[in-house]
Amino acid sequence: MSRKKRADAAGSPCGLFRRLMIIIYDAVVIFVLLMLATAIPMLFGMANYTAAKDPAYTFYLFMIWFLYLGWCWHQGGMTLGMRAWRVYIENESGKRPSWKQCMARFLMSLLSAVCAGLGFVWSLVDSNRRTWHDIVSRTRLLRY
């Protein structure tokens, strides 16, 4: 790719393929974090808890998942997957998202995925390549 094309791509909205690759990269990190989070209760003799059957345990795992994403978005502007794919997150003001925006993005991204991925596919018809969770949280993913 020429230098001019690379420069034009910087700051441009992130496309669906790149988003999906970021999800795959981050899924590995999240899987490891959730395995470690599962080991902690097991050390204290609570090995019989099951996600989706025990509400408190399920909430605990979702909070671990959110804290990884939220911390990365709020503090550094990118997760490990986003760093690998040269993408960062910002709000409409060009700043890192607030914790409230991170929570809105996280919750809406779950809904985007649960609706057969329609919230992600929306980026193919949106002129700014925004997903449902971009719109609701007033954030955007940009390439650098």
Residue 107 in any domain: the answer is yes
Element (H, E) at 127: none
Q: Is residue 1 part of a domain?
A: no
Q: By the 8 A CB rule, do 111 and 119 touch?
A: yes
pTM: 0.88
Domain membership of residue 125 as a residue range: 13-143
Handedness of CA 144, 124, 140, 33 (dihedral sign): negative
Instruction: Kindly state whether residue 6 falls inside one of the protein's structural domains.
Output: no
Token pair recorded at residue 74? 């709020």
Position 47 confidence tier, pLDDT thresholds 50, 70, 90: confident
Q: What is the pLDDT of residue 10?
A: 67
Would you say residue 3 lies in a domain? no
Over range 74-93, report the average pLDDT.
98
Mean pLDDT (whole number) for 32-40:
94
Would 2 be classed as within a structural domain? no
Domain assignment present for residue 34? The answer is yes
Domains contained in the chain, number: 1
Asked which of 7-11, 25-29, 41-45, 125-129 is least confident by mean pLDDT, the reply is: 7-11
